[in-house]
Amino acid sequence: MQKCYLVEYETLEYRKSLKLQNQIRELKENNRDFDDFLLVLQHNPIFTIGKKGTREDIIAPTDLLQKEGIDVLEVKRGGEVTYHGPGQLVVYLHLNLTRARISVDEFVWKMEETLIDLLELYGIEGWRMEGYPGVWVSHQKRKWKIAAIGARASKMITSHGLALNVNTNMDHFKLIIPCGITEYEPISIKQILGKTIDIKKVYENFERIYEKVFKMSLERISSKELEKRIGEIA
Protein backbone atom coordinates (compact mmCIF):
# COMPACT_ATOMS: atom_id res chain seq x y z
CA MET A 1 0.00 0.00 0.00
CA GLN A 2 1.12 3.52 -0.73
CA LYS A 3 2.28 5.45 2.34
CA CYS A 4 0.71 8.71 3.51
CA TYR A 5 1.96 10.68 6.51
CA LEU A 6 -0.68 11.45 9.15
CA VAL A 7 -0.50 14.60 11.28
CA GLU A 8 -3.10 15.23 14.00
CA TYR A 9 -3.87 18.53 15.70
CA GLU A 10 -6.32 19.17 18.51
CA THR A 11 -6.90 22.72 17.21
CA LEU A 12 -4.97 24.46 14.44
CA GLU A 13 -5.42 28.16 13.72
CA TYR A 14 -6.83 28.41 10.20
CA ARG A 15 -4.37 30.94 8.82
CA LYS A 16 -1.45 28.81 9.99
CA SER A 17 -3.03 25.77 8.34
CA LEU A 18 -3.28 27.72 5.10
CA LYS A 19 0.43 28.55 5.20
CA LEU A 20 1.27 24.89 5.82
CA GLN A 21 -0.98 23.78 2.98
CA ASN A 22 0.47 26.30 0.55
CA GLN A 23 3.98 25.20 1.42
CA ILE A 24 3.14 21.52 1.01
CA ARG A 25 1.41 22.19 -2.31
CA GLU A 26 4.38 24.14 -3.66
CA LEU A 27 6.76 21.36 -2.67
CA LYS A 28 4.57 18.69 -4.25
CA GLU A 29 4.12 20.62 -7.49
CA ASN A 30 7.88 21.17 -7.78
CA ASN A 31 8.76 17.61 -6.79
CA ARG A 32 6.06 15.13 -7.75
CA ASP A 33 7.82 12.40 -5.79
CA PHE A 34 7.42 14.35 -2.56
CA ASP A 35 5.44 12.77 0.28
CA ASP A 36 1.66 12.63 0.67
CA PHE A 37 0.09 14.00 3.85
CA LEU A 38 -3.21 13.76 5.70
CA LEU A 39 -3.88 16.54 8.22
CA VAL A 40 -6.65 15.79 10.74
CA LEU A 41 -7.74 18.66 12.97
CA GLN A 42 -10.25 21.20 14.27
CA HIS A 43 -10.18 24.95 13.63
CA ASN A 44 -10.82 28.20 15.42
CA PRO A 45 -14.21 29.72 14.40
CA ILE A 46 -13.91 31.03 10.83
CA PHE A 47 -15.93 31.57 7.66
CA THR A 48 -13.94 30.71 4.53
CA ILE A 49 -15.00 31.96 1.12
CA GLY A 50 -14.19 29.60 -1.77
CA LYS A 51 -13.72 30.48 -5.43
CA LYS A 52 -17.48 30.38 -6.12
CA GLY A 53 -18.46 32.35 -3.02
CA THR A 54 -18.78 36.06 -2.22
CA ARG A 55 -18.81 38.22 0.91
CA GLU A 56 -22.58 38.59 0.39
CA ASP A 57 -22.98 34.93 1.40
CA ILE A 58 -22.12 36.04 4.95
CA ILE A 59 -25.37 37.55 6.18
CA ALA A 60 -24.18 38.58 9.64
CA PRO A 61 -22.86 42.12 10.21
CA THR A 62 -19.19 42.61 11.04
CA ASP A 63 -19.84 43.60 14.65
CA LEU A 64 -21.68 40.31 15.29
CA LEU A 65 -18.80 38.34 13.77
CA GLN A 66 -16.40 40.15 16.10
CA LYS A 67 -18.66 39.44 19.08
CA GLU A 68 -18.78 35.74 18.18
CA GLY A 69 -15.01 35.65 17.55
CA ILE A 70 -15.43 34.47 13.95
CA ASP A 71 -12.67 35.20 11.45
CA VAL A 72 -13.33 35.63 7.68
CA LEU A 73 -10.93 34.67 4.89
CA GLU A 74 -11.01 34.07 1.12
CA VAL A 75 -9.29 30.83 0.08
CA LYS A 76 -8.37 29.09 -3.19
CA ARG A 77 -10.54 26.03 -2.86
CA GLY A 78 -13.67 24.82 -4.58
CA GLY A 79 -17.09 25.71 -3.26
CA GLU A 80 -18.60 28.80 -1.72
CA VAL A 81 -18.81 29.92 1.91
CA THR A 82 -18.53 27.47 4.77
CA TYR A 83 -17.86 27.47 8.50
CA HIS A 84 -15.09 25.80 10.49
CA GLY A 85 -14.91 25.68 14.26
CA PRO A 86 -14.30 23.57 17.36
CA GLY A 87 -16.13 20.25 17.38
CA GLN A 88 -15.92 19.88 13.60
CA LEU A 89 -13.69 17.23 12.03
CA VAL A 90 -11.57 18.85 9.31
CA VAL A 91 -9.31 16.77 7.08
CA TYR A 92 -6.84 18.15 4.54
CA LEU A 93 -5.60 15.74 1.90
CA HIS A 94 -2.28 16.47 0.19
CA LEU A 95 -2.02 13.72 -2.38
CA ASN A 96 -0.49 13.09 -5.78
CA LEU A 97 -3.50 11.60 -7.57
CA THR A 98 -1.41 10.42 -10.51
CA ARG A 99 0.83 8.37 -8.24
CA ALA A 100 -2.21 7.04 -6.37
CA ARG A 101 -3.94 6.22 -9.70
CA ILE A 102 -7.04 8.15 -8.63
CA SER A 103 -8.99 10.46 -10.94
CA VAL A 104 -10.37 13.76 -9.66
CA ASP A 105 -13.92 12.36 -9.70
CA GLU A 106 -12.76 9.26 -7.81
CA PHE A 107 -11.00 11.50 -5.28
CA VAL A 108 -14.26 13.27 -4.45
CA TRP A 109 -16.13 9.94 -4.37
CA LYS A 110 -13.58 8.44 -1.98
CA MET A 111 -13.81 11.40 0.40
CA GLU A 112 -17.59 11.04 0.47
CA GLU A 113 -17.36 7.26 0.85
CA THR A 114 -15.01 7.57 3.82
CA LEU A 115 -17.49 9.88 5.54
CA ILE A 116 -20.47 7.65 4.70
CA ASP A 117 -18.68 4.63 6.20
CA LEU A 118 -17.73 6.70 9.25
CA LEU A 119 -21.31 7.81 9.87
CA GLU A 120 -22.46 4.20 9.65
CA LEU A 121 -20.40 3.46 12.78
CA TYR A 122 -22.66 5.90 14.64
CA GLY A 123 -25.84 4.41 13.27
CA ILE A 124 -26.36 7.24 10.77
CA GLU A 125 -27.07 6.60 7.10
CA GLY A 126 -25.19 9.10 4.95
CA TRP A 127 -25.70 9.44 1.21
CA ARG A 128 -24.81 11.49 -1.84
CA MET A 129 -27.16 13.90 -3.57
CA GLU A 130 -26.54 14.62 -7.26
CA GLY A 131 -25.40 18.16 -7.89
CA TYR A 132 -24.49 18.75 -4.24
CA PRO A 133 -20.97 17.60 -3.26
CA GLY A 134 -20.73 16.39 0.31
CA VAL A 135 -22.67 13.95 2.47
CA TRP A 136 -26.35 14.14 3.35
CA VAL A 137 -28.63 12.53 5.94
CA SER A 138 -32.35 12.19 6.60
CA HIS A 139 -33.57 13.32 10.02
CA GLN A 140 -37.07 14.17 11.23
CA LYS A 141 -38.41 13.59 7.70
CA ARG A 142 -36.06 16.22 6.21
CA LYS A 143 -32.82 16.24 4.23
CA TRP A 144 -29.78 17.77 5.93
CA LYS A 145 -26.14 18.31 4.95
CA ILE A 146 -23.76 16.85 7.53
CA ALA A 147 -20.42 17.08 5.69
CA ALA A 148 -18.92 19.48 3.16
CA ILE A 149 -16.34 18.82 0.44
CA GLY A 150 -14.18 21.79 -0.52
CA ALA A 151 -11.04 20.30 -2.01
CA ARG A 152 -8.70 21.62 -4.67
CA ALA A 153 -6.94 19.53 -7.33
CA SER A 154 -4.43 21.28 -9.59
CA LYS A 155 -1.99 19.36 -11.78
CA MET A 156 -3.36 16.24 -10.00
CA ILE A 157 -2.02 17.55 -6.68
CA THR A 158 -4.72 17.97 -4.02
CA SER A 159 -5.17 20.29 -1.07
CA HIS A 160 -7.96 21.37 1.29
CA GLY A 161 -10.49 18.59 1.76
CA LEU A 162 -13.58 17.97 3.88
CA ALA A 163 -15.40 18.95 7.06
CA LEU A 164 -17.81 16.81 9.12
CA ASN A 165 -20.06 18.36 11.76
CA VAL A 166 -19.57 16.35 14.93
CA ASN A 167 -20.10 18.60 17.99
CA THR A 168 -20.08 21.82 15.95
CA ASN A 169 -21.78 25.04 17.10
CA MET A 170 -24.51 24.93 14.47
CA ASP A 171 -25.81 28.41 15.37
CA HIS A 172 -22.82 29.84 13.50
CA PHE A 173 -24.13 28.36 10.23
CA LYS A 174 -27.17 30.61 10.58
CA LEU A 175 -24.90 33.59 9.93
CA ILE A 176 -24.08 32.46 6.36
CA ILE A 177 -25.58 30.86 3.28
CA PRO A 178 -23.58 27.63 3.65
CA CYS A 179 -22.17 26.37 0.35
CA GLY A 180 -24.68 28.60 -1.44
CA ILE A 181 -27.54 26.32 -0.36
CA THR A 182 -30.73 27.93 0.95
CA GLU A 183 -33.22 25.05 0.70
CA TYR A 184 -31.35 22.65 3.04
CA GLU A 185 -29.78 23.19 6.44
CA PRO A 186 -26.60 21.69 7.92
CA ILE A 187 -26.73 19.31 10.88
CA SER A 188 -24.27 17.62 13.25
CA ILE A 189 -23.85 14.12 14.65
CA LYS A 190 -24.50 15.59 18.11
CA GLN A 191 -27.87 16.96 17.00
CA ILE A 192 -28.93 13.65 15.48
CA LEU A 193 -27.85 11.47 18.40
CA GLY A 194 -28.64 13.98 21.14
CA LYS A 195 -25.27 13.62 22.85
CA THR A 196 -21.69 14.89 22.65
CA ILE A 197 -19.38 12.65 20.66
CA ASP A 198 -15.76 11.79 21.51
CA ILE A 199 -14.11 13.59 18.61
CA LYS A 200 -10.73 11.94 19.18
CA LYS A 201 -12.49 8.63 18.57
CA VAL A 202 -13.93 10.17 15.40
CA TYR A 203 -10.35 11.00 14.35
CA GLU A 204 -9.37 7.37 14.93
CA ASN A 205 -12.36 5.94 13.08
CA PHE A 206 -11.88 8.29 10.11
CA GLU A 207 -8.21 7.37 9.77
CA ARG A 208 -8.92 3.64 9.84
CA ILE A 209 -11.63 3.93 7.17
CA TYR A 210 -9.44 6.25 5.08
CA GLU A 211 -6.77 3.57 4.84
CA LYS A 212 -9.35 1.10 3.53
CA VAL A 213 -11.10 3.42 1.05
CA PHE A 214 -8.00 5.16 -0.32
CA LYS A 215 -5.85 2.02 -0.09
CA MET A 216 -3.11 3.95 1.68
CA SER A 217 -1.08 3.14 4.78
CA LEU A 218 -0.97 5.99 7.29
CA GLU A 219 2.25 6.68 9.18
CA ARG A 220 1.83 9.06 12.11
CA ILE A 221 4.27 11.94 12.54
CA SER A 222 4.14 14.96 14.87
CA SER A 223 3.38 18.51 13.75
CA LYS A 224 7.00 19.41 14.49
CA GLU A 225 8.17 16.55 12.27
CA LEU A 226 5.91 17.83 9.49
CA GLU A 227 7.30 21.35 9.73
CA LYS A 228 10.83 20.01 9.80
CA ARG A 229 10.15 17.78 6.78
CA ILE A 230 8.68 20.57 4.65
CA GLY A 231 11.14 23.13 5.96
CA GLU A 232 14.17 21.04 5.01
CA ILE A 233 12.99 20.77 1.42
CA ALA A 234 11.77 24.36 1.00
Q: Is 4 an annotated catalytic residue? A: no
Side-by-side strand order, sheet with 71-74? 71-74, 46-49, 81-84
Residue 137 belongs to a domain with what CATH number?
A: 3.30.930.10
pLDDT tens digits for range 67-117 = 999 998 887 766 678 889 999 999 999 999 999 999 999 999 999 999 999
> Residue 82 is part of which domain span?
2-233
Which of residues 114 and 56 earns the better pLDDT score?
114
Alpha-carbon distance of 206 to 199, in angstroms, equals 10
Contact 159, 152 (CB under 8 A): yes
Asked whether residue 231 carries a pLDDT value surpassing 70, the answer given is: yes
Asked whether residue 168 carries a pLDDT value surpassing 80, the answer given is: yes
Give the pLDDT score at 189: 98
Cβ-count burial 55-93 (b if 16+ within 10 Å, e if not): eebbebeeeebeeeebbeeebebbbbbbbbbebbbbbbb
Contact 147, 162 (CB under 8 A): yes
Asked whether residue 131 carries a pLDDT value surpassing 90, the answer given is: no
CB atoms within 10 A of CB 1: 9
Number of domains composing the chain = 1
Residue 123 is which amino acid?
Answer: G
The average pLDDT across 12-21 equals 93
Residue 174 is which amino acid?
Answer: K
Give the pLDDT score at 80: 76
Give the pLDDT score at 77: 65
Give the pLDDT score at 183: 65
Choosing from 93, 108, 146, 179, the catalytic residue is 179
